[in-house]
Structure 1
């Protein structure tokens, strides 16, 4: 009897290798107390699925700090997390619905508050030779975008020291 041919792939036939360069994920999370833990757990699973065990310790710390800040600042009911791996670095973005203030002093006070909440993030990024920041988000839904670029070599050294 001839073998049947199907255009549908077998569910276990994964043709795209799970390598770091294929890492591109986005998650929408509720702006709730549990969301930083959910973001850390999801990120750990994603990073390990792509073989980025050496980045996990630093990335989990960074993602938790950004998610906590986003959930605290957003006036909306959700925040948006994006994970990408490009040029030997993990690129993390978190979007919250807190609009950028147009009044100069109010904007400076709000930025100072956000920076003070992200002091641990700043220490981790410094230890990893990474970059981070925040500013106006053009999408999704405007608000504020916080970002971190975590070089793999720096994250690896951070993980060994932890």
Structure 2
């Protein structure tokens, strides 16, 4: 004998929650990259995605270009060594830092030549940062293990 059971209809679907992007102040991205030519592309993609997730897309062209320049020069001057990239939003600015293992030369002439080489490689970065009203630079890393810290700060004032 076949019995009929009454089953309750599927529960009413709850309206989908409105998902707002996290606030820009929460943006914090850190990653380690191989010191290889392709790592600039990986860095660009990660930074573009992080900016999109925090609704900072209007700043992507300049920040992605700055990221690419910092990472490419670090990889060129320090081949086959890992690089560390950091992107943060602090005080209405996007702050990029790239650490590489290229230590400061002890000999003054070598240090000057190396600095000139890095500065020359970062000419495009300098122009982009200047146009945005930001700041950039590089110097000896204070992190354990030494190396070089290159950075750019790009203001991102929201209207």
Which range, TM-score by smaller chain?
0.7 to 0.9
Instruction: Provide the aligned C-alpha RMSD in A.
Output: 1.9
> Which residue does 1:64 correspond to in 2?
68
> Which residue does 1:34 correspond to in 2?
38
Deviations 1:38-66 (A, max 9, x none): 00000000001011011101000000000
Unaligned regions of 5+ residues in structure 1, if any?
A: 1-12, 157-162
Unaligned regions of 5+ residues in structure 2, if any?
A: 1-16
CA distance in 1, matches of 2:144, 2:95: 17
Runs of 4+ in 1 over 6 A off after TM superposition: none
Q: Which protein is richer in helix relative to its size?
A: 1
TM-score normalised to the size of structure 1? 0.82
Contact in 1 for aligned 2:23/2:54 (Cα 8 Å):
yes
CA distance in 2, matches of 1:138, 1:32: 24
Secondary structure of residue in 2 paired with 1:145: strand
The one of 22, 27, 30 aligned to 1:23: 27
Count of matched residue pairs: 141
Structure showing greater radius of gyration is 2
